[in-house]
Structure 1
Amino acid sequence: MRPTSALAAALALASGALAGKIRYLGVAIPGIDFGCDIDGSCPTDTSSVPLLSYKGGDGAGQMKHFAEDDGLNVFRISATWQFVTNNTVDGKLDELNWGSYNKVIDACLVTGAWCMIDMHNFARYNGGIIGQGGVEDEVFVNLWVQIAKYYEKNDKIIFGLMNEPHDLDVNIWAQTCQKVVTAIREAGATSQMILLPATNFASVGTYVDSGSAAALGAITNPDNSTDLLYFDVHKYLDINNSGSHVECTTDNVQAFEDFATWLRDNKRQAIISETGASMDPSCMTDFCAQNKAISANSDVYIGFVGWGAGSFDTSYILTLTPLGEPGNYTDNKLMEQCILDQFTMDSKYAPTPTSISTATETGTSTPTPDPSSTSGNSPSSTTPSADKQTPSSSPKANPVNDPSSDTNNSSKDGNKDGKSAAPSGAKALSGSLLLTGAAFGYMMVAF
């Protein structure tokens, strides 16, 4: 690197560290998506509702800890098309399964955080690409219209249209997304954020070159504005960008810097809704560096969600699941050092605990499972257990604890493991002053 460019980079980093405050910082709460393949085949019998009453992970307790102890304010709640409609592609939201999902959403909402719906189907349904040989656009639109109407009065809900599209025509995909955005807004959900996902698993490194940025950037609300429409960005650091390897081999700093420049030049913003790493020394270096770069560009990267907690146990390769027992949780070192220590939260977006649930906000009663009766096709995991218990420690007894490459949330663009702790004002200021001093020190030497 030439001295002039090094100086510019140092000054930019110092400036970003002093001024950068991210709006939305949080953790993914997976479980219902367990078993999903990248061809959009998502069996419901492997789903694990991340609540202790369903014998899944302690999603409610985790979110409470992250919000109250760490100040985090957004949680990404995974779902699948098959789960929420009980394997009826063009059907209504299933009373039992949708009720189970909404119990997780309600647990999120009571923390005062924003709650991100993650439709985890890879732009597919059982092998067919939406609007490109698979189910028609109208079927996908109908799914989102039902969801939008359910949440239309709750602006703490974020609509993540689709997890990690891949191997498709991005221009046609953008047309599909435009239909969904228009339908969501016309259904009455006008105050919610909507995330627009790119092809190639929404990878930040190919957002521009793949044509995704331009195609998705043309999507507008019915009033022709782009208000509350954000790019949905993912990235992992292992050898194949899948998040399924222990070692981190990819330096993502430049990729995030490059896309930040594009966003700034085009007056757009993005939310990084999935990224993670293991606690291998290589990842403690590279993941922390990646997140420092993201934080320094928080004017365009307004949100960050680490993968993942929920029904993952603490031995999962990318685990951000807190250590300890319900009511007495502590963060692991990945969460503390690479997430919490790298970001400064904007206090204007601090979570405020509330008793308001989705049912109260929408005026619609939330369907709740009846333990005494289950439909024949409903996954057994949606039936609450009378006694609360954590997932089995045996990988064979509970596949949630040891997802294979084709049962992982994302066997393509990423994996998950993290440790995040909101830095104190003193710590953030100290780091900023150090960076500023380094920058000016460099100036003295250079000149």
Structure 2
Amino acid sequence: MRLLCFVTVAVLAAPCFAVGRAEATPLPGINLSAAAFASGRIPGRDNWDYMFPRENEVEYFSSQGMRLIRLPVLWERVQPQLLSDLDPGYLAHIQAVAAIAKARKAKVIIDLHNYGAYGGNLIGSDAVSVEAFVDVWVRLARVFGADRNVLFGLMNEPKIASAQDWAAIQQKVINAVRAAGAKNIIAVSGVNWDGAHNFPQVNGDALATLTDPHHALIFEAHQYFDGDSSGRSAECVPQDQVERRLSPFADWLKAHHAKGLLGEFGVSSNAGCLADLEAALNFIHQTSGVWYGWTYWAGGPLWGNYIYSVEPGKDGSEKPQMSVLKQAVERSH
């Protein structure tokens, strides 16, 4: 869909973004994250240091109504040498997850979960050129560019210092992916942990400059509800603080006629945190027009006793957070 428009926000002209035939309601989803585990062990041992989602795991979450799977992967495993071929084994795993999800009417976001670096060196450094980052996405676009069921999540929580520099890097990737012929939805991220609560101040102006000839960009933000928004605590802020953490991002999306992805959010299973989770999902429902979807953090087979995990127990028992997530899924239908 071709769409050109400008909205006046204060004294800034903000471009209008569209995502083709947008979903009527936000897509509910889950992070299945074990393929990016053990990032300090490269390449690592398949099915030991890291693990891709199994068919029964995708089946479980899709049967609960999860229609969006964010699949964190490691750049060093996808592409063992910069500017070189993709690893056939690791790539085959990604393709298999995409095929399993598609059969269950779910979409997959390939999330390069590298915090803006390769081998510990930031993109744009002498060791990792911007061209190398462009290259890996062009290669992935050549593999997945014909599959609209696959979305491209360019980079998780980049540690690039400047939002403007990061926007310019992402623009080069967008241009190259489109030149390669791919029309997939592209999820762009922000710096400084990509928080929803301070998105306009930290990333808003920079990311508003992005353009896409296919108008298929979505903007990703993350938000946790512990005291410092770090996602490390089992305790959560009072329920009346949840909306104020999400509304800055939602307001920015509305002002820019854009669609957003809440790519990471999660809580522990105590009553206060479950109330926060319900409040967050209620807010997304109430502001559904600006959201492409959400993906809870996290599921996956290697989490063990991780406090935010919704991976079923070995006996098949469900985590308390799942009951809240399923209520939101039912409301989205």
TM-score by length of 2: 0.85
Q: Which amino acid letter does the alignment assign opposite residue 96 of structure 1?
A: G
Aligned equivalents of 2:277, 2:195: Cα separation in 1: 15
Aligned 8 A contact 2:53 2:301 in 1: yes
Does the alignment pair 1:263 with 2:256?
no
Question: Match for residue 100 of structure 2?
Answer: 107
Q: Which amino acid letter does the alignment assign opposite residue 115 of structure 1?
A: V
Judged with a 3 Å threshold, the aligned counterparts in structure 2 of structure 1 residues 47 and 293 are, in CA distance, closer, same or farther, namely: farther
Does the alignment pair 1:119 with 2:106?
no
Question: Match for residue 142 of structure 1?
Answer: 135
Return the offset for 1:245. 1.8
Q: In the TM superposition, what whole-angstrom CA distance separates every residue of 1:300-340 from its partner, at most 9, and x where no partner exists?
A: 02201001112234622111112455xxx553221112x22
Does the alignment pair 1:237 with 2:225?
yes
Aligned 8 A contact 1:74 1:115 in 2: yes
Higher strand share: 2
Q: In the TM superposition, what whole-angstrom CA distance separates every residue of 1:190-233 from its partner, at most 9, and x where no partner exists?
A: 1x1100100111110121111x1221121112x3x6x2101011
Q: Secondary structure at the match of 1:308?
A: strand
Q: Secondary structure at the match of 2:85?
A: coil
Question: Match for residue 284 of structure 2?
Answer: 294
Does the alignment pair 1:204 with 2:192?
no
Aligned equivalents of 2:142, 2:151: Cα separation in 1: 13
Aligned to 1:67, which of 54, 58, 62? Answer: 62
Q: Secondary structure at the match of 2:264?
A: strand
Return the offset for 1:154. 0.6
Judged with a 3 Å threshold, the aligned counterparts in structure 2 of structure 1 residues 97 and 200 are, in CA distance, closer, same or farther, namely: same
Question: Match for residue 78 of structure 2?
Answer: 84
Return the offset for 1:99. 2.0
Does the alignment pair 1:161 with 2:154?
yes
Question: Match for residue 30 of structure 2?
Answer: 27
Judged with a 3 Å threshold, the aligned counterparts in structure 2 of structure 1 residues 333 and 99 are, in CA distance, closer, same or farther, namely: same
Question: Match for residue 16 of structure 2?
Answer: none
Q: Secondary structure at the match of 1:312?
A: coil
Return the offset for 1:35. 2.5
Return the offset for 1:103. 2.6
Q: Which amino acid letter does the alignment assign opposite residue 111 of structure 2?
A: D
Question: Match for residue 180 of structure 1?
Answer: 173
Q: Secondary structure at the match of 2:283?
A: helix
Aligned to 2:89, which of 72, 91, 96? Answer: 96
Q: Which amino acid letter does the alignment assign opposite residue 293 of structure 2?
A: G
**What is the count of residue pairs matched by the alignment?**
309
How well do the aligned residues superpose, as a CA RMSD in angstroms? 2.4
Q: Secondary structure at the match of 1:307?
A: strand
Aligned equivalents of 2:282, 2:304: Cα separation in 1: 24
Aligned equivalents of 1:101, 1:152: Cα separation in 2: 14
Aligned 8 A contact 1:21 1:345 in 2: no
Aligned to 1:331, which of 318, 322, 327? Answer: 318
Return the offset for 1:157. 0.2
Judged with a 3 Å threshold, the aligned counterparts in structure 2 of structure 1 residues 58 and 125 are, in CA distance, closer, same or farther, namely: closer
Aligned equivalents of 1:118, 1:49: Cα separation in 2: 19
Is there any run of 5+ residues in structure 2 with no aligned partner, and where?
1-22
Aligned equivalents of 1:130, 1:247: Cα separation in 2: 35
* Range moving further from structure 2, 265-274 or 114-123: 265-274
Aligned to 2:41, which of 36, 40, 43? Answer: 43
Identity rate, percent: 25
Q: In the TM superposition, what whole-angstrom CA distance separates every residue of 1:367-424 from its partner, at most 9, and x where no partner exists?
A: xxxxxxxxxxxxxxxxxxxxxxxxxxxxxxxxxxxxxxxxxxxxxxxxxxxxxxxxxx
Aligned 8 A contact 1:48 1:311 in 2: no
Judged with a 3 Å threshold, the aligned counterparts in structure 2 of structure 1 residues 258 and 55 are, in CA distance, closer, same or farther, namely: closer
Aligned equivalents of 1:67, 1:48: Cα separation in 2: 24
Aligned 8 A contact 2:32 2:53 in 1: no
Aligned 8 A contact 1:84 1:101 in 2: no
Q: Which amino acid letter does the alignment assign opposite residue 35 of structure 1?
A: A
Q: Find the structure with the greater CA-based Rg.
A: 1
Return the offset for 1:265. 1.7
Judged with a 3 Å threshold, the aligned counterparts in structure 2 of structure 1 residues 272 and 134 are, in CA distance, closer, same or farther, namely: farther
Aligned equivalents of 1:183, 1:129: Cα separation in 2: 20
Question: Match for residue 228 of structure 1?
Answer: 216
Question: Match for residue 409 of structure 1?
Answer: none
Judged with a 3 Å threshold, the aligned counterparts in structure 2 of structure 1 residues 269 and 317 are, in CA distance, closer, same or farther, namely: same
Q: Secondary structure at the match of 1:299?
A: helix
